[in-house]
Structure 1
Amino acid sequence: MGIQARRGAGEGRRPAFDVRRTAFGFALVAVLVCGVGLAVRTALETAGRHPVVAGVSAAGLVAAVVVLLRARRSRRTAVRAAEAAVEAAYEVVDAALEELPDSALHPEPQLPDSVLDPGPQLPDSASDPEPPGPVDWAAMDPYDFEEAVAWLCRRDGCADAEVVGGAGDLGADVLATTPDGRRLVVQCKRYTSDNKVGSQDLQRFGGTCYAVHEAEVAVVVTTGEFTEPALEYAGQCDIVCVGLDELTAWSEGAAAPPWYAGADVQPATG
């Protein structure tokens, strides 16, 4: 009678349950699933913005599938599948490139904002031409009139001419240096023909233009006219008076700037 062989104590038994090993396995699977999901999500979001990246992602996915299939198929079949996947990826990339505009493939260089937008430019009185047609001096307000007179001074060689008029200006509206180096002080009177510049205006200006502003050339420019007493006082104090007619001739280039010797003085009008 044969004796039945006794099985080993450990033969046919399942391995004991290990909590740590099981937990580690679940954690590893969770990490892999999350990683694959995040990669797929990123690829889909990127594909919506960049067709080329979509083609590359598709090629990578196909290649991964081919690798998985290699375990079950023959090597020759896997190679053919890989070649087909690569060819399909090339077709996707070529189609995406044809849809892209030339500006996306060859972008133009971008200039800095400081070059594109240099900011407001001040007019160059030496090079900017005068506005065509006669200037309506009487239509200007007092501030615009002072700026216009300063512009004329800069146009004719007084590069540092600036408006200084305002409260407490003591009669000086425009200060400048003439081309021959003399200090020029100009008072601007934006008057109408009914309101003439009188002798009191000239006396106040004469009392400050030399003593306070140290003028070497004193000029009074108006859009109106001067009274006879004002012209007499101006002649005694060497103040040049420029009325509307003289101002128009000066601005149009028909008369010399008033700071030159021998500048015309407006004749008295009563």
Structure 2
Amino acid sequence: MAALSGVGGAVWWLWRTDRLVRSRDRRWREEDAIRVGRRSLAEVDAMSWQDFERYVAGLCRRDGCTDVEVSGKSGDLGADVIATLPDGRRLVVQCKHYAPHRYVPSGDMQKFIGTAWLHHKADVAVFAATCPFSRAALALAVQHGVLAVHRDLLGAWNTGTPLQAMLPLNGTGQGDRAHRKRWKDTYRF
């Protein structure tokens, strides 16, 4: 009986060790996939909206955020990713995975502004998108202190610029009218 118990204990220990090793390996691979220079914006464009939310959460982790949670469902009231910044502030991120030639409309920004501060108690609110923001949406973001991470800032964040370094850049970087026209013409399908 003791031998059977010993064999059972050894099997359990091997099974548990295998599970732990596989779990650590999976986490390492997920973190490795978001390291600097590992994804192009074309790869980000090819993601599903759920993968994009997980990707943004991974970027937050890379930048030192803790308690990172991905909602991954509708009805999240604009909080796709919630985390704690390294300085202890509460971060709430709305993610929009739109085609590169689209714009984030002001209605999407209005909804996020309406929930980020009051409902989710954000200290820092970020709206991350795979496309530019409309002029009205960007103006709302600046007026209400929401960091609008448009396609150009997403590219910078993607290649290693920390989120906290981008906070003062809100409302900048989308270029002038000629730049946006050239960019939009490039991404027409």
TM interval, shorter chain, is 0.7 to 0.9
8 Å Cα contact 1:217-1:259 kept in structure 2: no
Residues 258, 195 of structure 1: alpha-carbon distance in 2 compared, 3 angstrom cutoff: farther
DSSP 3-state at the match of 1:179: coil
1:137 equivalent to 2:38? Answer: no
> Per-residue CA shift, 1:120-144, capped at 9, x if unaligned?
3141499747275433110000000
Task: Give the counterpart letter for 1:198 in structure 2.
Answer: P
The structure whose Rg is larger is 1
1:123 pairs, out of 27, 52, 56, with 27
Q: 1:200-211 alignment to 2 at 5 Å?
A: 200-211=107-118
Between Structure 1 and Structure 2, which shows a larger proportion of strand residues?
A: 2
Superposed displacement of residue 181, structure 1: 0.6
TM-score by length of structure 2 reads 0.74
Deviation at 1:248? 1.7
User: Which AA in structure 1 matches 2:129?
Assistant: T
Residue 263 of structure 1 aligns with which residue?
A: 169
* Number of positions where the alignment pairs a residue of Structure 1 with one of Structure 2: 160
Of residues 53, 59, 76, the one that matches 1:169 is 76
Can you give the 5+ residue segments of structure 2 that lack an aligned partner in the other structure?
1-9, 178-189
Deviations 1:97-130 (A, max 9, x none): xxxxxxxxxxxxx874236623531414997472
Q: Give the RMSD, CA atoms, in angstroms.
A: 2.6
- Residues 80-229 of structure 1 aligned to structure 2 (within 5 Å): 112-114=13-15, 117-118=18-19, 120-121=22-23, 122-124=26-28, 128=32, 130=35, 133-135=38-40, 136-229=43-136
**Larger deviation: 113-122 or 133-142?**
113-122
Q: Per chain length, whose mean CA-contact separation is higher, i.e. which structure has more relative contact order (CA < 8 Å, sep 6+)? A: 2
Name the % identity.
Answer: 41
Asked if the contact 1:228/1:268 (under 8 Å) is kept, the reply is no
Structure 1 residue runs of 5 or longer lacking an equivalent are: 1-109
